[in-house]
Amino acid sequence: MHNSPSDYVRKLYEIVSAVDDLPQDDNDHHEHLKPLRHYLKGPSKRSFETLVNDSFLEPSKGKRKQEDVEKLRKHWELILLNLCFVMYQRQWLLVPGDSRYYSDYWAQRLGITYRPTKTVIDWLQQNDLVELLPGKRYKKEPKTNRIFPKPKLMETLWEFFLQIEQPIQPPYLEINDPKYKWGPVIHGLSKDHPDKADMATLNDFLKPHSWACKGPVKLIYKNSPFQGGRLYTPFQNLPDRRIRLRINTLIDGEPICEVDFSANHLRMNLANNGGVDGGDDPYTEIGDLAQIPDRSMVKKFITVAMGSSNEVKAHQACYIEGLSKVQVSALKDATQKIFPSLELFTGWCLYAQSIEGQILKRVMLSGVKEGIVCLPVHDAIAVPLKHSEWAREEMKYQWDKEFEVSGLARVAIDRPE
């Protein structure tokens, strides 16, 4: 596909730098600082170290003592590596401006403190190298400072993208637990716990392999171990809808494809409730009956209706998604007429996410046995293109095994153009 690693990363940079506007400013486009490192040795690493020293550290160090200069250097390296990641992911990098954050566990784990971080961000902003959206204090949901590299900084950093990785090390099991009720339970699981052992097996296999935005694969639960255990790795944050970046990356130097389940939560729901076949394109079928030709609107309704715990919340969420009361009513009637056994307004999607995560995990473990690298991408798997048919058949096999059915799943393969 590309003659050399430099040609390859240049092609990716051409794709991402062709986008003129900034990323959206929402939770789906925010990325926390990660413990990234430049892992290649030799001329490449020396080139990065020279860049950091000459272009950023020297003009910003002031009259600091040598010990503090070394501390500032580490902050420069970490933040620049993270900015290189987010420029390809098209995400805002979250950099807290509140000094209290830097006594937190995650800041200590990253090895960052308040003053050097502020020095780096202030210098970048003063030299017109980043866009900065300042954080604000709100009672319920405070906003953190967000930064994104401007074109001048992108031109400085782009070549280092494939030389960066997040070290693959535990914990591989995490939970979004705001009340910290389940956190200690998850972190205290023994090594032979099935999920913990499986995730260690997957990550140990992946360590020597290469791919863009390399980092650990984690199983992340939402609020409790019984809600939405989904597989996550930084690779899946690379964009692939508006700009076709992720599908044009490589695994171990080879072109990739993405093999994904079609209308998966709907089909899983039907399989779980009587083994009903959803057909080739259930969204279009529902839209035709409801006289709503926009398939994306039908998909939004189904996603919201299956994910909401009651109908009132579903109507509110549909309104936010741009669906009118008349459209919601028509889509509800059409869905219930075509698929009377489909569960709506019961919060099914949280349960479905957990099952989906387990199915994909089993596919990846099968890949380990076959020596095939599989990376999770939401409800899909990215694999080297030459293994596309293996992935298709393995995904269908694991899906059928989960629901004790045959032939109800639909699997599509997305290939690079």
Q: What is the pLDDT of residues 178-203, one digit of tens each?
A: 555 666 666 667 777 788 899 999 99
**Burial status of residue 134 (CB atoms within 10 A of its CB: 0-12, 13-18, 19 or more):** exposed
CB-CB contact of 410 with 261 (8 Å): yes
pLDDT of res. 1: 43
Structure tokens at 133: 């959206």
Distance between CA 297 and CA 318 in Å, rounded? 9
173-263+350-414 CATH fold: Alpha-Beta Plaits (3.30.70)
| Mean pLDDT, range 243-259, rounded to an integer | 95
d(CA 340, CA 355): 22
Residue 183 confidence (pLDDT) = 64
Q: 221: closest CA among 309, 349, 350? A: 350
Who has greater pLDDT, 143 or 297? 297
Encode pLDDT of 260-311 as tens digits: 999 999 999 999 999 999 999 999 999 999 999 999 999 999 999 999 999 9
- Distance (Å, whole) CA 43 – CA 265: 48
CA contacts within 13 A on the Cβ side of 317: 17
Higher pLDDT, 353 or 54: 54
Burial class (CB in 10 A: 0-12, 13-18, 19+), 49: middle
Query: What does the alpha-carbon distance between residue 359 and residue 85 come to, in Å, rounded to a whole number?
Result: 29
Of the candidates 129, 398, 88, the one whose C-alpha atom is nearest the C-alpha of residue 240 is 88
CA 10 to chain CA mean position, Å: 23
Q: Decide: helix, strand or coil at residue 165.
A: strand
Retrieve residue 104's tokens.
Answer: 């937190």
Q: Which residue has the higher pLDDT, 181 or 218?
A: 218
pTM as predicted: 0.91
- Quote the mean pLDDT of the chain: 91
pLDDT over 90 percentage in the chain: 79
Alpha-carbon distance of 285 to 289, in angstroms, equals: 7
Q: Please give the average per-residue pLDDT across 169-179, as a whole number.
A: 78
| Sequence spans of domains, the chain | 5-165, 173-263+350-414
> Is residue 149's pLDDT more than 70?
yes
Write the pLDDT tens digit of every residue in 391-404.
999 999 999 999 99
> Residue range 112-128: average pLDDT?
97
Distance, in Å, from the CA atom of 322 to the CA atom of 173, rounded to the nearest integer, reads 36
d(CA 301, CA 145): 33
pLDDT of residue 103: 86
pLDDT band with cut points at 50, 70 and 90 for residue 177: low
Give me the pLDDT at residue 351, please.
84
Alpha-carbon span 37 to 78, nearest angstrom: 7
Lowest mean pLDDT among 70-84, 183-197, 205-219, 275-289: 183-197
* 408 vs 267: CA distance, rounded Å: 7
